[in-house]
Amino acid sequence: MEFLEILKSFLMGIVQGITEWLPISSTGHLLLLDEFISMTVSSDPVRNDAFFNMFKVVIQLGSILAVVVLYFHKLNPFSPKKSGIQKRETWSLWGKVLVGSVPAAIIGFLIDDIIDNVLSTWYVIAATLIVYGILFIWMENRHRTPKIESFHQLSYKTAILIGGFQVLAMIPGTSRSGATILGAVLLGASRFIAAEFSFFLAIPVMFGASGYKLLKFGMEYGFGMTGLEWGVLLTGFIVSFLVSVLVIRFLMNFIKKHDFKPFGYYRIVLGILIILYFGIPLLIH
């Protein structure tokens, strides 16, 4: 029984690590995966649901740590290998990241329960997958020349506007990276800058969201988790980190030669499959 739950966590860690960075919705995929390999770590169904809501956010922190590791030098303003100008540019980048994180931090705190209890449904996920898939294809068909090719050219105003797009990602099926990349490109950023800024925006938001979810779970059920809960959480966290390292490298190499259209088509197909899978049985009954 315990081994099976650890195995489910391992699979969810793989899915999380892949889908967090590709603009195809990690939360949406985890919710759908739970339909087929539902996780059971407690005999209390209410606690079990609360644990899964916390689990799917906390393992995203494993993905975020992959960004910290891969971009440690770029994000480190204290690096002795950087000149004074480079250090100031790094501080400026962090300022833009923090400014861009404000909208999601405020709105996320206010509507957390609505996200868990109202929006986490198959039809919401299907709709957002399809809508944003169409938007990605439309965005790439515009063939606009980017105006922002470096973080130095990215203004604080643009950073907070991109942060506004990140708020949209709170709707399951949207994709945090998808919403921020889409917003950044529409605001004039190159694909490369859009993807990297999306990665960096995730750091404060996901650290905050993970801490909040752990605190909320602890306040409701006590701060002592069972051995199985710890095992499941740590497995998903570690696997998510390792897979994320590989996927981030893949994505940054991919967008040097390709656009985001394949992800748009994938989203549309997946959204249609979800509608068929969940909708046909409802029509039959």
**pLDDT tens-digit series, residues 124-140:** 889 999 999 999 999 99
Secondary structure of residue 93 in the 3-state scheme? helix
**pLDDT tens-digit series, residues 128-174:** 999 999 999 999 998 889 999 999 999 999 999 999 998 888 888 88
How large a percentage of the chain has pLDDT more than 90?
53
**pLDDT tens-digit series, residues 58-94:** 888 899 899 999 999 999 999 999 999 999 999 999 9
Q: How far is CA 241 from CA 99, 212, 236, in A?
A: 26, 20, 9
Rounded CA-CA distance 133/263 in Å is: 7
Q: Is 3 exposed, middle or buried (0-12, 13-18, 19+ CB in 10 A)?
A: exposed
Q: What is the DSSP string of 106-174?
A: HHHHHHHHHIIIII-SHHHHHHHHHHHHHHHHHHHHT-PPPSB-SGGG--HHHHHHHHHHHHHTTSTTS
Q: What angle do CA 233, 181, 129 make, to 5 degrees?
A: 70
Domain that holds residue 54: 2-284
Amino acid identity of residue 250, one-letter, is F
**DSSP bridge pairs for 189:** 148
Tokens of residue 156, six digits: 């604080």
Torsion of CA 113, 117, 123, 124, to 10 degrees: 0
Residues in the chain: 285
- Domains: count for the chain: 1
**DSSP bridge pairs for 148:** 189
pLDDT for residue 148 = 95
SS3 content of the chain, % helix, strand, coil (to 5): 80, 0, 20
Highest average pLDDT, of 36-50, 124-138, 202-216, comes from 124-138
pLDDT for residue 37 = 84
Q: Are 1 and 10 in contact (CB under 8 A)?
A: no
**pLDDT tens-digit series, residues 114-127:** 766 677 788 888 99
